[in-house]
Amino acid sequence: LTPKFHSPCPPEMVHIHGNMCVRPLQVCSDWIDDPTLPYARCAEYETGTECKGSRVSMEFCIDKFEVADEDNMPIADVSWTESAARCSARGYRLCSESEWTFACEGEEMRPYPYGWKRRSDLCNHDVGKDLVCGKLLCDHRKPVNDPSLLECSTPDGVVNMTGNIDEWVVLDTPHYSQKNGNRKMMSGLKGGWYRDWE
């Protein structure tokens, strides 16, 4: 969630600012999965990501924690439209895709919010067992401020940008849904969830 930037950010938000690279070159040196798979995970990237494009100045506020329900769990099963409406009711808006990515990667262009090596011990992702409960997926979400996840954080202090639950964003470039009559769609998901692929 992002309000129109004003200083200072609200206490529940983090001030993000800097110059975002529009085309980082992130090179995986050690794959977990077959790299030809669409959701292949990388165990470790080469450090020192190279910027292959221009940089764009960015400044905005973003929630420190995922938006939670009354049980302090990240809100799930909410459509993009409903999520956008909830943001608007708070006087905010959904992040753009590039804002979300910059909040996660920073000027250093880190592939993971905490660095270049995938750390399943820090974030709630890579859950590969006990996934089905009856005919439904088991719920492996953790509370948004669970102490075990506080190190799943960017250097700016934004928590759970990877794992736990997917997060809605507004795409920078629309896609056209053949399933919906080639309708222009602006909805996107970032961050992945608790499963063992993202």
pLDDT for res 170: 97
DSSP string, 155-189: TT--B-SSSSS-EEEEEEEEEEEGGGTTEEEEEEE
| Region at 115 (left for phi over 0; alpha for psi -120 to 50; beta for the rest) | left
- 8 or 45, higher pLDDT: 45
Q: In terms of pTM, does the model score above 0.85?
A: yes
- 195 or 153, higher pLDDT: 153
- Per-residue pLDDT tens over the stretch 58-74: 999 999 999 999 999 99
Tell me which DSSP letter residue 148 carries: G
Average pLDDT value for residue range 76-103: 94
pLDDT for res 178: 78
**pLDDT for residue 132 is more than 80:** yes
- Per-residue pLDDT tens over the stretch 14-23: 999 999 999 9
Give dist(CA 108, CA 61) in Å, integer: 19
| Region at 191 (left for phi over 0; alpha for psi -120 to 50; beta for the rest) | left
Helix (H) or strand (E) holding 28: strand 28-31
pLDDT for res 68: 94
- Three-state DSSP at 64 gives coil
Average pLDDT value for residue range 146-170: 95
